[in-house]
DNA sequence: AAAGATTGAATAATCAATCTTT
DNA sequence: AAAGATTGATTATTCAATCTTT
């Protein structure tokens, strides 16, 4: 029997007799697609946004969130919750944005523990200029790959995954029916 | 007219008269869902894999790629191309994996510029133990959120995006019909 | 000269304290 | 004590050299 196992891979498969093809389980393929598609997609957006607007994707994410919020301000903890940044990661990102005068910090009058991150005029100008460019870059990719119907299906499937895995972002800390 | 613009947001929208709702363009929502779903999904997988198998997701990714390859070995540059790591990022990751005796480096006999990353027995044991756990964790998320048909749709949509945005990964450097 | 891999130096992310306010 | 934010120290990532081999 060992004579047929000419490489280590075969031995591994035989070692788990009940699930001989676990290494190629469809869920692993799905997860792999997710990771690869995200890396490729985000990587291209990052490069393009850097080239055209001189903006790191992380900065775009933060500025975008602020410009979409009434008053152009958000508490540090809320801003962190609504981006891919951790609390300390956001502190440092805002340090950098503040150094470039795109964002400023303001004290929260009602709770002196909190700090607002507020878009400056320069920050507003910067993100306002970047948004149409970014939308066009998204359009160039997404409209090329998907039909309008497929785009809706994909968005719905992604939203459901996000809501299931990260219930806090979906439910709390955002107004009802604000859907990104 | 300015009397109605009670906050900065309104002014921004008026400033771009041709595209008044670019900030809420559906493509931005789709991209946002993609980023948020990926962050939530990958974050949970990372935490769970860390807790149950004491493996960083990055290590899992590398070991998985090696165990799925005949001979359990891959040249550094190919391994980098098939993961989310850069060339220098992979060099450092393999340094760490080698220090834990999960991977070893071997010279390539046919081209002395190349180096193989090879799974050790300990590495094989480690990833073999982790795979069923990981599949179960994937199952717990994906089967909860999606029907089997939806899972197929999602996988197909993701694959098409990856192939469109990162043609090199899809085409070259991998055997035909190896599909993750 | 170009491919393959690695390294140094600079930048960024992370995790456990820390400090203030509630 | 717990929430909100920040900091120090460690670790990881990145980018442009560097070195060897083709």
Q: What are A62-99's pLDDT values in tens digits?
A: 999 999 999 999 999 999 999 999 999 999 999 999 99
Reported as a single tens digit per residue, the pLDDT across A19-60 is: 468 999 999 999 999 999 999 999 999 999 999 999 999 999
Q: Which residues of chain B have pLDDT under 70?
A: 1-20, 167-180
Position A170 scores a pLDDT of 47
Write out pLDDT tens, residues B73-105: 999 999 999 999 999 999 999 999 999 999 999
Residue A114 CA to nucleotide D4 C1', Å? 6
Q: In this predicted structure, what is the pLDDT of residue A57?
A: 97
Q: Which nucleotide is nearest to A93 (CA to C1')?
A: C12
- The pLDDT mean for chain A works out to 87
- Residues A124-149, mean pLDDT to the nearest whole number: 97
pLDDT tens per residue across span B18-33: 446 899 999 999 999 9
Asked if A22 lies within 8 A of B131 by C-beta distance, the reply is yes
pLDDT at A166: 78
Please, how many CA atoms are within 13 Å of residue B27, restricted to the half-sphere of its CB? 21
Question: Å from B123 to nearest chain A CA?
Answer: 12
The more confidently predicted of residues A124 and A5 is A124
From the CA of B18, how many Å to the C1' of C14?
A: 43
Report the predicted TM-score, pTM, of the whole model to 2 decimal places. Answer: 0.85
Predicted confidence (pLDDT) at residue A2 exceeds the cutoff of 50: no
| β partners of residue A118 | A73, A104
């Amino acid at each position: 029997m060992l004579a047929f196992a000419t490489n280590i891979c075969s031995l591994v498969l035989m070692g788990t007799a009940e699930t001989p093809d676990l290494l190629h389980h469809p869920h692993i393929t799905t997860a792999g697609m997710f990771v690869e598609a995200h890396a490729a997609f985000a990587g291209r957006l990052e490069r393009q946004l850097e080239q055209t607007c001189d903006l790191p994707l992380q900065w775009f994410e933060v500025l975008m969130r602020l410009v979409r919020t009434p008053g152009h301000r958000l508490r540090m903890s809320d801003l962190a919750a609504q981006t891919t940044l951790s609390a300390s990661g956001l502190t440092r990102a805002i340090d950098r944005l503040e150094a470039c005068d795109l964002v400023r910090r303001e004290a929260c009058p009602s709770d002196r523990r909190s700090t607002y991150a507020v878009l400056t005029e320069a920050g507003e100008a910067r993100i306002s200029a970047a948004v149409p460019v970014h939308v066009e870059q998204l359009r160039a990719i997404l409209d090329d790959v998907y039909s309008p119907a497929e785009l809706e299906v994909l968005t719905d499937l992604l939203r459901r995954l996000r809501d299931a895995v990260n219930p806090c972002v979906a439910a709390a800390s955002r107004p009802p029916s604000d859907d990104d």
